[in-house]
Structure 1
Amino acid sequence: MNSRLVNENPIVYPKKQGRVRTDQSNTDEYSAEPIDQLEIFYILFNIKDPEHSELTLEDLRVITKESVEVDDAKSYVRVTLTPTLPHCHVPHLIGLCIYSKLLKSLPTRFKVDVRVAPGSHATEAAVNKQLGDKERIAAALESPYFVDLFN
């Protein structure tokens, strides 16, 4: 594997101030509180970038609060990620990390959809096709390599 970073000097953005949240999974199927955009963002904001382990997806603005869509009534969550480069080689891996984190954190009634932002990646259609293939996602989430990475 090539150990050279593709994006050696990424832009690191300042963190936005928001509510303080304890890190706890929302596994109660019948939670009285509806799940909203901010709740999903706080589940995801501390995921480490696979290429820059000292930086989070929020630091690099791969995900933002605005890139999260939630419809609690319809049990639907969509996260749109924006890779740092048009030729980023790990957007599918980032998508899997997001998907995995949401599956572990949300009630099972939720349908999760993870996509690459339109026009943000050279192989956007191929990555979105991979992230939309539920059988591929399930197989990847069971792979020992990905289990180690996610943990």
Structure 2
Amino acid sequence: MTLGLINANPVVHAKRERVARTDDPHADDAVDPLDVFDSVRDIRDPEHPYSLEQLSVLSEESITVDEKLGRIQITFTPTVQHCSMAAVIGLCLRVKLMQSFPPHFKVDINVSPGSHAEEESVNKQLNDKERVAAALENPNLRQLVEECLYSSEL
């Protein structure tokens, strides 16, 4: 058992098999929830060596895309109500989406209603541009985000 973790023994689920896309090459390049999920599913949890998908923090069903409005909405569920890493998880999601999709998309990231003791505060942090920018200026926090995003690609 690891000391100091909020959820030392999380439930780990098997990764879903990636869906092979058989899109019509003449179809438009619209973004859908599966595109978004595929871009973020392998983000590593800040406290564990498992992905957000494996910990059921995130699922395809928790993502909505409105192509006409240029909006991506992600709702994630921390593994425990007092997860101290909820804001970091949301920051990882935001950074990955900024890197993966055109800048015209407005991204909203929230914890699932009732899933976190500080739900309102976490949601406010994740959706305030100045707070996100300030967080990413912190070298230690930026390094943690990068480790979560890129450790799965090694």
So what's the TM-score if we normalise by structure 2? 0.84
- Runs of at least 4 residues off by over 6 Å: none
**1:2-151 correspondence to structure 2 within 5 Å:** 4-20=4-20, 32-52=28-48, 54-151=49-146
Question: SS where residue 65 of structure 2 aligns?
Answer: strand
Question: SS where residue 114 of structure 1 aligns?
Answer: strand
Question: SS where residue 139 of structure 1 aligns?
Answer: helix
Question: SS where residue 34 of structure 1 aligns?
Answer: coil
In 2: Cα distance, 1:130 partner to 1:55 partner: 24
Deviations 1:21-46 (A, max 9, x none): 8xxxxxxxxxx410000000000000
In 1: Cα distance, 2:44 partner to 2:70 partner: 26
What is the percent sequence identity of the aligned residues? Answer: 46
Gaps of 5+ in 1: 22-31
Contact persistence 1:100–1:141 (CA under 8 A):
no
- What count of residue pairs does the alignment treat as equivalent? 138
| Post-superposition offset of 1:20 | 4.4
In 2: Cα distance, 1:35 partner to 1:94 partner: 22
In 1: Cα distance, 2:139 partner to 2:83 partner: 23
| Post-superposition offset of 1:129 | 1.4
So what's the TM-score if we normalise by structure 1? 0.86
In 1: Cα distance, 2:138 partner to 2:70 partner: 27
| Post-superposition offset of 1:126 | 1.1
1:20/1:5 CA distance change after superposition, 3 Å: farther
In 1: Cα distance, 2:112 partner to 2:5 partner: 22
Question: SS where residue 104 of structure 1 aligns?
Answer: helix
| Post-superposition offset of 1:98 | 0.3
Equivalent residue number for residue 150 of structure 2: none
Deviations 1:64-88 (A, max 9, x none): 0000010112110011010000111
| Post-superposition offset of 1:131 | 1.2
